[in-house]
Structure 1
Amino acid sequence: MISTVVWGTGNVGRAAVRAVEAHPGLVLAAVLVHDPAKVGRDAGELAGMGTRLGVAATADVDAVLAAGPGAVVYAASGDLRPDEALADVVRAVRAGAVVVTPALYPLYDQRSAPAEFRDPVLAAVAAGGGSLFVSGVDPGWGNDVLPLLISGLGSTLDAIRCQEIFDYSTYDQEDSVRHLIGMGHPMEYEPLMLAPSVPTMVWGGQIRLMARSLGVELDAIRETFERHPLDAAVHTRTMGEFAAGTQGAVRFEVQGIVGGEPRIVIEHITRIHPSCAPHWPSPPDGGDGAHRVIIDGRPRIEVTVAATDEGENRSAGGNATAVGRLVNAVDWLAEAEPGLYDALDVPLRPAAGRLGRK
């Protein structure tokens, strides 16, 4: 059994606690939290499991890492604190742990990552013998292993399009939704997520990773975006009111250009309410979210994935599948050589030993 720490208990951390507890090869050793109000609370309670796990949350990072855990699921956000997230991850790798996380966007394709992200991790691997695997929370498998797998089912391939289509009215991360994405702000407000080069910083690694797997050279990576205001005020259960006339929907693309054409595209269509921008693509069943991969070629292939978790919440379902990809890689990484890994290195395997397991 691999002793495993979950660091953070937000949207990703809750799913991580559940995934670690369900994995037959892992044991939940500790849960790290930042909020003093969570210290001492049982991990099962924080994860919304309805049962106690006998692991009390702690803020003592030194003590947890000094105990020598085999793995760390780093579930704290790196959106607005990338330097701090990198420092935390490097600290855990240097302590000898296998670390998995969605928080460090530049390391989705670690071979093309900037030196300021890659070099500290490689130094920590050399010093402590740990490993790191970074895969996205949007979710990563939808922008790498799934489209690449499906691309091999046809005879010709013209383009790959990966879509995330979501209504964020049930999402519980107000700072990111309002300030990072811009929902509820005046239309003249420039969200950080849509600032020039930021989408490429976040999703460009996945474009490069797919291009590498497909054996093509990218001419460039381009960005496009559209924004749409709310026609009327809407109220959300988790984040309150969003006023009429403010930003209610965003649609953007990160395009990998091959031979002058967009051939590898990651597209996000994000709403704060389904009534906003109804002319844009929506989930096929009218639900609150879906991930779709479209392979243009012969034949044309379209695959839509709609995952639910925490009731019928699909934003939580997307988090849960992304976390599953990470947590289920821990035992493989523990057997592999210490190093820095990406999605092309780490296999996606069956859920051995978990069929029917509660």
Structure 2
Amino acid sequence: MIATVVWGTGNVGRAAIRAVDAHPALKLAAVLVHNPDKVGRDAGDLAGLDVELGIAATDDVDAVLAASPGAVVYAASGDIRPDDALADITRAIRAGAVVVTPSLYALYDRHGAPPELRDPVLAAVEAGGGSLFVSGVDPGWANDVMPLLVSGLGSVVDGIRCQEVFDYSTYDQPDAVRFLIGFGQPMDYQAPMLMETVPTMVWGGQIRLMARALGVELDEIRETVDRRALDDTVTTRTMGEFEAGTQGAVRFEVQGIVGGEPRIVVEHVTRIHPSCATDWPLPPSGSGAHKVIIEGRPRIEVSIEADDEGENRSAGGNATAVGRLVNAVDWLVEADPGLYDALDVPLRPAAGKIGRTPR
């Protein structure tokens, strides 16, 4: 079995511990945490499982990597600490580990990644013999392998739209929701995630990757952003009150332009409450869904909903993103050392998992 470390125990890390524990080819070897209050706690407790896994969380990175794990699921955030995340990841690669992570947006498409990110990774691969696969937590499969798969069912494809439609009122991550995206902030607040060029920095790699797979040349990548204010003050279960007049809904697109038209689009429609911007697309049911829409002949629309962690409805998207990453580990261990993206790593069936009960 492949000794696997989970680094970070937030929304992504909790799901990663559960996924590693459930995988028949992987063995949870260690859990790395930053918060001193989590040191010593059992991994099963941190992951919200009903059983202990016999692995106590630690903050000793040196000791964990010195044990030469086969793989690291890097679940620590890269949103506001990209340099630190890159340093952590290259450190693990130099230790010989296969690393899978959603934390380095610019490496979604390895061909178009900036040299300042790609070169340190390649140097670490050369030095240590490890590998890296980056896929999005939004989740990545919804913006790469899934739309590409569905596009192959059409006779004529005029455009591809990857759409996230979500109610964030159940999302237990206030820093991201309130400050990165700007929900509950005044309408003149400059949310970092919505600043000009940032959406392209985050999702442009997925646009380029799809264009590469489809064999089309992009004229450019454009962005559109629209925001709506709350008409009334609302109270959420996980993040408290959001006042009337503050930002309550966001709709943005990252558009791959082909022949002067937006042909490959990643769109997010997100709200802090379902009462806001009701004229925008709504999820077919529940709090959210990921959609792939193929415009052409025939027109194809696929909607996927995932639930996890009970009332934390948004955790389903995290869990599927983690599943894509964790399920790639044994394939990556067998592959040559290197830097991989979603076109390299196959989307694999749940071999050996049907009917299997994690410990």
Task: Please tell me the TM-score bracket, short chain as reference.
Answer: over 0.9
Cα deviation, 1:89-128, whole Å, max 9, x if unaligned, reads: 0110111000000000000001100011000000000000
Does residue 308 of the first structure (1) align with residue 307 of the second (2)?
Answer: yes
Cα deviation, 1:187-219, whole Å, max 9, x if unaligned, reads: 000111111100000000000000000000000
Distance in 2 (alpha carbons) for counterparts of 1:245 and 1:51: 45
Deviation at 1:314, TM superposition (A): 3.2
- Give the secondary structure class of the aligned counterpart of 2:24: coil
Distance in 2 (alpha carbons) for counterparts of 1:171 and 1:100: 23
Distance in 2 (alpha carbons) for counterparts of 1:84 and 1:27: 26
Match of 2:298 in 1: 299
Cα deviation, 1:231-286, whole Å, max 9, x if unaligned, reads: 1111122211111110011000000000000000000001111111111101112x
Match of 1:165 in 2: 165
Distance in 2 (alpha carbons) for counterparts of 1:312 and 1:10: 16
Mapping 1:18-33, distance limit 5 Å: 18-33=18-33
- Give the secondary structure class of the aligned counterpart of 1:262: strand
- Give the secondary structure class of the aligned counterpart of 1:172: coil
Residue type at the aligned position of 1:99: V
Cα deviation, 1:322-349, whole Å, max 9, x if unaligned, reads: 0000000000000000000000000011
Residue type at the aligned position of 2:184: G
Residue type at the aligned position of 2:293: I
Distance in 1 (alpha carbons) for counterparts of 2:206 and 2:346: 16
- Give the secondary structure class of the aligned counterpart of 1:309: coil
Q: Is the 8 A contact 1:290 1:314 kept in 2?
A: no
Match of 2:125 in 1: 125
Deviation at 1:312, TM superposition (A): 4.9
Residue type at the aligned position of 1:339: G
Q: Is the 8 A contact 2:170 2:311 kept in 1?
A: no
Match of 2:84 in 1: 84
Q: How many residues align?
A: 357
Cα deviation, 1:43-80, whole Å, max 9, x if unaligned, reads: 00000011100000000111000110000000001111
Return structure 1 stretches of 4+ with deviation > 4 angstroms.
Answer: none
TM-score normalised by L of structure 2: 0.99
- Give the secondary structure class of the aligned counterpart of 2:217: coil
Mapping 1:208-247, distance limit 5 Å: 208-247=208-247
Residue type at the aligned position of 1:234: V
Distance in 2 (alpha carbons) for counterparts of 1:60 and 1:24: 27
Residue type at the aligned position of 1:208: R
Q: Is the 8 A contact 1:306 1:314 kept in 2?
A: no
Cα deviation, 1:11-69, whole Å, max 9, x if unaligned, reads: 00000000000000000000000000000000000000111000000001110001100
Match of 2:10 in 1: 10
Deviation at 1:173, TM superposition (A): 1.1
Does residue 202 of the first structure (1) align with residue 202 of the second (2)?
Answer: yes
Does residue 336 of the first structure (1) align with residue 335 of the second (2)?
Answer: yes
Mapping 1:242-261, distance limit 5 Å: 242-261=242-261
User: Which structure 2 segments of 5+ residues have no match?
Assistant: none
Does residue 74 of the first structure (1) align with residue 53 of the second (2)?
Answer: no
Distance in 2 (alpha carbons) for counterparts of 1:8 and 1:60: 13
User: Which structure 1 segments of 5+ residues have no match?
Assistant: none
Residue type at the aligned position of 2:182: G
Residue type at the aligned position of 1:321: T
Distance in 1 (alpha carbons) for counterparts of 2:44 and 2:236: 26
Match of 1:140 in 2: 140
Mapping 1:36-47, distance limit 5 Å: 36-47=36-47
Mapping 1:49-64, distance limit 5 Å: 49-64=49-64
- Give the secondary structure class of the aligned counterpart of 1:291: strand
Identity %: 79
Distance in 2 (alpha carbons) for counterparts of 1:275 and 1:109: 36
TM-score normalised by L of structure 1: 0.99
- Give the secondary structure class of the aligned counterpart of 1:111: coil
Q: Is the 8 A contact 1:100 1:132 kept in 2?
A: yes
Distance in 1 (alpha carbons) for counterparts of 2:276 and 2:56: 42
Distance in 2 (alpha carbons) for counterparts of 1:81 and 1:313: 25
